[in-house]
Amino acid sequence: MIQEILAFGILILAIAFLIKKYFWKKKSDKNCGDDDCGCA
């Protein structure tokens, strides 16, 4: 039972890490300084 709790805890941590990595990006408010480059 303890093993299952720990194993699923590790699974939740792994999923949370992947969600944070790929879907929870910080937004940047900077651009590259070139007015015509197309980046915001």
Task: Enter the tokens of residue 21.
Answer: 């990595």
Q: Which residue has the tokens 């709790």?
A: 5
Q: What minimum distance in Å lies between the beta carbon of 9 and another protein? A: 10
Q: Is 21 in the site for another protein (CB under 8 A)?
A: yes
Q: What minimum distance in Å lies between the beta carbon of 19 and another protein? A: 10
Query: Cα Rg for the chain, rounded, in angstroms?
Result: 19
Residues contacting another protein: total by CB under 8 A:
27
Task: Enter the tokens of residue 22.
Answer: 């790929």
**Gap between the Cα atoms of 18 and 20, Å rounded:** 5
Q: Which residues bind another protein (CB under 8 A)?
A: 2-4, 6-7, 10-11, 14-15, 17-18, 21-22, 25-26, 28-30, 32-40
